[in-house]
Structure 1
Amino acid sequence: MASSPALPDFHLCLDSADLDALRTCLPHPLVHAVTTNPTLLRRAGLRQADVPRLVETLLGLRVRQVQVQVTHVQTEEMLREAEGLVALADPGRLVVKIPATREGLAAGAELARRGVPVTFTAVWEPEQALFAAMLGAAYAAPYLGRMQDAGLDGLARIAHMQAQLTGSAAPTRLLVASLRSRQACLDVIALGARAITIPPALFAELVDHEPTRAAERVFLADAQDDPAR
């Protein structure tokens, strides 16, 4: 008997801490995770003390994972903070985000060794993505829009990173962030990236297409005109 084809191995995440905006998208089976960071918390009017309730609420909206970033810069302090974050959810459901600094790489390596999923964030250079794979991270997160703002060829850099990860056969995914348009999402997907995180407003652009809605309206109208009804 022929085996069933594998489903696409892709993670679509929402990048926000604004519960009102997130609830316009959730719950939905397309969404794998919600990614947050201190800047997103501040924009949503939240403090670090609000993180436990935020995580609880998001898991209640049936996302598979929530990503929360540490707020310390020394390795041991990152590890202590990460222990508290991981305790907020069942194993594997809280992903610890750590900037890909020298100290952060050391902390992330120890967490990965313990079986804690880690995202190395603020990844700008190809070697940082390689190091993330070497250290067993679940994700490495480059910022496409910010690279382009800095005058860099962000797509070329991300293509380089993705080629490295593909060649290494590591399970580490590029989680491309700072995506500001539907076309940017399609561009990084075409490069082979296995995860993206987008603002909630972009979710509608990816899943709500007017030609499809128009066809649906025609089908419904024709169904109403069916003399057998």
Structure 2
Amino acid sequence: MPTRLADLKVKLFTDGADKAQIVEMAKQPWIAGFTTNPSLLKKAGVSDYEAYARDVVAAVPDKPISFEVFSDELDEMHAQAQVIASWGRNVYVKLPVTNTKGEGLYEMVRALSRDGVKINMTAIFAEDQIVKAIDALDGGAPACVSVFAGRLADFGIDYRPIMRDAVARARRTKNVEIIWASTREVFNVIEADEIGCHIITAPADILKKLAAIGTRTGAEISLDAVKAFCADAEAAGLTLRTKLTDAAQ
């Protein structure tokens, strides 16, 4: 198990669409790339997608950044992927594993990848999706497969065997990397590192906690918690009448 940030072998990507935050995190040498999605764009208040994306790429031209298509029609998704790919050499086009009708994008991804488009195939949860995604991308341009480990855990599904299998399959290729996505906590980074995952993407607030790895023992953390409870009780002005307080009066 890694005992400090410098011991991690997994590449760390920041998941978010706030430009100021992206620029801030890009200054950190241990941040290797960035991922965005339509939900994060909405949260960041992005309305002019292309202007925003080109601005971000200009600010961070030397680290991979994923931008996702948003159409639900296959032909338009393909056209959007080509436009997004033109935004920069460091841009990865995020394409979901299916559209909302459940139509698979594997053949589209295969064609785009062999045309030189860097792909981040996303919204992947099932083993058969992993197999088909890696097969479609194998032999093409540099590519990633984003497996949503955190969301699987939210539904009580053990993501560990799925992630191990995905990593093993990807490592048999020359161009496909696995992204551990929907990260929920710092320990997920440790898990991803131990499994041998290529990349983990996480919100900035989680990544910023990594500097604390190995700096505290369980006993020290316990004492910190007790001190915090005590300070908060005093700050809240909590009182409770007991025999001892009555005697003191």
Same fold by TM-score, threshold 0.5 exceeded? yes
Equivalent residue, structure 2, for 1:70? 69
CA contact (8 A) 2:179 2:197 kept: yes
Once the two structures are aligned, what percentage of the paired residues are identical? 22
Question: What are the within-5 Å matches in structure 2 for residues 72-221 of structure 1?
Answer: 72-89=71-88, 91=89, 93-101=90-98, 102-136=103-137, 138-166=143-171, 168-207=172-211, 211=215
Separation in 1, partners of 2:163, 2:175: 17
Q: Deviations over 1:112-150 (max 9, x none)?
A: 010111011011112222222211261110111110111
CA contact (8 A) 1:73 1:104 kept: no
| Cα displacement (A) at 1:191 | 0.8
Instruction: Give the TM-score, by structure 2 length.
Output: 0.73
3-state SS in 1 of match to 2:184: coil
Structure 1 residues 209 and 11: CA distance shift in structure 2, 3 A: closer
Structure 1 residues 85 and 62: CA distance shift in structure 2, 3 A: closer
| Cα displacement (A) at 1:160 | 2.3
C-alpha root-mean-square deviation of aligned residues, in Å? 2.3
Separation in 1, partners of 2:150, 2:24: 24
Q: Which moved more, 1:132-141 or 1:188-197?
A: 132-141
Separation in 2, partners of 1:180, 1:69: 21
3-state SS in 1 of match to 2:26: coil
CA contact (8 A) 1:133 1:171 kept: no
CA contact (8 A) 2:123 2:146 kept: yes
Equivalent residue, structure 2, for 1:4? none
The one-letter amino acid of 1:52's match is A
| Cα displacement (A) at 1:53 | 2.5
Separation in 2, partners of 1:116, 1:10: 24
Equivalent residue, structure 1, for 2:3? none
Q: Which moved more, 1:130-139 or 1:170-179?
A: 130-139
Q: Which has more radius of gyration?
A: 2
Q: Gaps spanning 5+ residues in structure 2: where?
A: 1-7, 217-249
| Cα displacement (A) at 1:108 | 1.2
Structure 1 residues 104 and 23: CA distance shift in structure 2, 3 A: same
Separation in 2, partners of 1:147, 1:210: 28
Aligned residues: 201
| Cα displacement (A) at 1:178 | 0.8
The one-letter amino acid of 1:195's match is I
Separation in 2, partners of 1:76, 1:169: 28
Separation in 2, partners of 1:176, 1:36: 14
| Cα displacement (A) at 1:51 | 3.8
CA contact (8 A) 1:144 1:178 kept: yes
Structure 1 residues 210 and 186: CA distance shift in structure 2, 3 A: closer
Separation in 2, partners of 1:21, 1:210: 26
The one-letter amino acid of 1:94's match is V
